[in-house]
A = this chain, B = another copy of it.
Amino acid sequence: MAISESTIAAGKEADTRERLIKAALRVFANRGIASATLREITEEAGANVAAVNYYFRSKEELTRTVLETCLRPINESRLRHLDELVARHGEGAIPLDDIIEALVRPMVMNSIDEYGGRSTVRLILQVRALPQPMTNTILANQFDRIHRTFIEALSKALPDLGRAEIGLRYDFARGAIMQILGDLDPAARDLPDLGIKHSGLDNESIVRLLVAFISAGFTAPGLLPVRAG
């Protein structure tokens, strides 16, 4: 009632903009960023074709916004988890399982889209599989600190392993996490069988199973020489 017209306009603006971002995430994930057209995205968002060019400058700017919007909360949650662990253990090493869980849980829990799918995961898999300058810059900005922080914590927890081996195993872990979440997306399961069906697994189980596998992998004896440092 007391809402002015400009407030309504501003509310409407934010709404269309947000709807465009959500629709773009889904269309990008399902059809590929390059193949996705502004017509599909705007139709899915219930907006006009010209809306993307009005709210974002271009398709590229929309892509940037979508990526940053869906990555930020996941990585913020990871850092929050890890900060809590650091606070709890002070200078001492953090138990391996806890570090891995801080890496796994936010990605499993916060990458679910409004339809129960894994659009965010499939989008990340896409831009990782297809390195392009623009998306790589975004990934670097979003993930660089995370990687450094986790590898540092892992180095303290696993003093017998060198940095090179920890970095490598950390990337093994990232691959395992992302691929399984991509496969679990119902949108990917409709299609002809890729790999194995994993039906009836709740997210909590996924976390526990990933943590068990990855922690065991990290506990394997090191093969590379440990550098001083």
Q: Which A residues lie at the B interface, using CB under 8 A?
A: 31-32, 34-35, 122, 125-126, 128-133, 136-137, 139-140, 143-144, 147, 151, 164-165, 167-180, 182-183, 187-188, 191-198, 201, 205, 208-210, 212-221, 223-224
Contact = CB atoms under 8 A, between A and B. Distances in A.
18 contacts: A31-B130, A32-B34, A125-B129, A128-B182, A131-B191, A140-B194, A143-B194, A143-B195, A144-B193, A168-B201, A170-B195, A171-B198, A174-B195, A175-B177, A175-B178, A175-B179, A179-B179, A205-B224
Given A167-B196, A196-B167, A198-B171, A129 B131 contact: no
Contacts of A219: 216
Contact of A194 (B131, B167, B183): B131
Copies of this chain per assembly? 2
Contacts of A171: 179-180, 183, 195-196, 198
A198 B128 contact: no
Contact of A165 (B147, B172, B209): B209
Interface residues of A: mostly helix, strand, loop or mixed?
helix
Given A178-B175, A179-B179, A194-B136, A32 B130 contact: yes
A97 B175 CA distance: 20
Given A122-B129, A173-B176, A224-B209, A196 B137 contact: no
Contact of A139 (B173, B194, B197): B194
Contacts of A32: 32, 34, 130
A139 B187 CA distance: 16
Contact of A128 (B174, B194, B209): B194
